[in-house]
Amino acid sequence: MADNEKKIHNVVIIGSGPAGWTAGIYLGRANLSPVLYCGAQVGGQLTTTTEIENFPGFPEGRDGPELMMDMEAQAKKYGTQIVYDTIKSVDLSKRPFTLRTEDSEFQAHSIIIATGASPKMLNLPGEKTFWNRGVHTCAVCDGSFYRGKTVAVVGGGDSAMEEAMYLAKLCAKVYVVHRRAELRASRIMADRALATPNMEFLWNSTIADVIGDTSGKFPKTTGLILKSTVDESTREVAVDAMFLAIGHTPNSAFLGGQVEVDDAGYIVVNEAQQTNVEGVYAAGDIHDHVYRQAITAAGFGCKAALEVERFLARQGVTS
Ligand code: NAP
């Protein structure tokens, strides 16, 4: 039996984005020996972002992965036990709660769910065929493969503008494919994108499919079939890659319906970040589909940690 499985943990934090690390910092400093399970993408979505210009305290901006590594170091410094593994399922029917990874099972008096959200896909046949061979969801991760080439970004929100502006610095041409004729993105991001010379906006269009060459060792994307949203017309656009930026799906499926979620799968919390299960809290993009910022996720992580501290004190657990 691994060390981690022997005793009942005071609190297990699931997720390693700003919400999870912040909860770790607070609970570690409160001497509550938090254990944080990182999940498959250590550092969460911010590790796929470039310069963060709106996290207070960094007037020159901050590199996303570096910010996350600093948060991790800070949580560790104050006593958070970090486990580089993924929680696959939980049993919340009684306390202490049971949590399971692929090959271990252990218990905890309280849980903070900070598993964030994952990029949405369009579920087109070509998406699977050309995944990572011209179909991507992260320009910072994969954009450099398309230096000097032509790419498309799908979506009209801030994420799409951020991806498109990043790619415009590397690529010869960037199409932005949006299903309406008006961007959802904030004014500042939209204005910057609209003023970028090598960016072309393809309005009122959705992607019908991704096309390419599958005859070689690896599939290669060559274009997109666009479908008009105002009439039934379709057309082909030659691109070397498509970057999807059409929003996110909350990572709540592993909870198996034991925690109340809304229609889109976001966890429902009360003012104290508590879910419908006493002792189970949620923080960050897993419940917040409105603000979804690093700073708000960190704030929710702080709130959840302070509430867990109170909850544990009520249970007589103080260290
Ligand atoms: P979002 O604001 O929900 O935008 C998603 C975009 O994808 C929308 O334009 C939407 O079109 C489009 N879309 C959704 N489903 C689609 C489909 N099936 N087919 C085609 N298009 C589809 O998501 P986001 O851009 O990821 O932003 C999420 C939040 O994070 C926002 O609050 C945003 O402000 C924030 N954010 C901020 C920054 C920053 O400040 N640096 C960066 C990134 C994100 P419609 O417009 O027609 O709905």
- Do 227 and 135 share a structural domain? yes
Q: What is the pLDDT of residue 194?
A: 97
Catalytic residue numbers, as ranges: 138, 141-142
- Do 102 and 72 share a structural domain? yes
Task: Please report whether residue 166 resides in a domain.
Answer: yes
How many CA atoms within 13 Å lie on the side-chain side of 16?
Answer: 30
Closest residue by CA, ligand 1 atom 34: 158
Residue where one domain finishes, among candidates 194, 217, 244: 244
Task: Please report whether residue 278 resides in a domain.
Answer: yes
Task: Please report whether residue 319 resides in a domain.
Answer: no
Tens digits of residue pLDDT in 196-214:
999 999 999 999 999 999 9
Whether 287 contacts 114, CB under 8 Å: no
Task: Please report whether residue 84 resides in a domain.
Answer: yes
This prediction's pTM: 0.78
Structural domain harbouring 271: 3-118+248-314
**Shortest-distance atom of ligand 1 to CA 246:** 7
- Do 234 and 206 share a structural domain? yes
Task: Please report whether residue 76 resides in a domain.
Answer: yes
Ligand 1 pocket mutation pick from 124, 162, 179 by most atoms within 8 angstroms of CB:
179
Regions of the chain where pLDDT drops below 50: 1
Q: What is the pLDDT of residue 81?
A: 98
Ligand 1 pocket mutation pick from 158, 225, 249 by most atoms within 8 angstroms of CB:
158
- Do 174 and 79 share a structural domain? no
Tens digits of residue pLDDT in 280-318:
999 999 999 888 889 999 999 999 999 999 999 999 987
Q: What is the pLDDT of residue 318?
A: 75
Ligand 1 pocket mutation pick from 120, 123, 292, 296 by most atoms within 8 angstroms of CB:
292
Residue where one domain finishes, among candidates 200, 218, 244: 244
Separation of 287 CA from ligand 1 center, angstroms? 16
**Shortest-distance atom of ligand 1 to CA 52:** 41
- Do 202 and 89 share a structural domain? no
**Shortest-distance atom of ligand 1 to CA 248:** 26
Closest residue by CA, ligand 1 atom 39: 158
- Compute and round to an integer the Cα radius of gyration of the chain: 21
Task: Please report whether residue 58 resides in a domain.
Answer: yes
- Do 240 and 127 share a structural domain? yes
Q: What is the pLDDT of residue 219?
A: 95
Q: What is the pLDDT of residue 317?
A: 84
**Shortest-distance atom of ligand 1 to CA 158:** 25
- Do 174 and 96 share a structural domain? no
- Do 51 and 144 share a structural domain? no
CB within 8 Å of 35: residues ≥ 6 apart: 4, 9, 11, 12, 13, 80, 81, 83, 108
Q: What is the pLDDT of residue 4?
A: 56
- Do 238 and 135 share a structural domain? yes
Q: Helix 64-77 and helix 18-29: axis angle, to 10°?
A: 20
Separation of 248 CA from ligand 1 center, angstroms? 8
Residue where one domain finishes, among candidates 244, 260, 281: 244
Task: Please report whether residue 143 resides in a domain.
Answer: yes
| Domains identified in the chain, total number | 2
- Do 212 and 193 share a structural domain? yes
Q: What is the pLDDT of residue 2?
A: 55
Beta-strand relationship, 220-228 and 89-91: unpaired
- Do 197 and 52 share a structural domain? no
- Do 225 and 256 share a structural domain? no
Residue 191 sits in a domain whose CATH number is 3.50.50.60
Token pair, residue 7, equals 């005793």
Tokens 């994108």, residue? 193
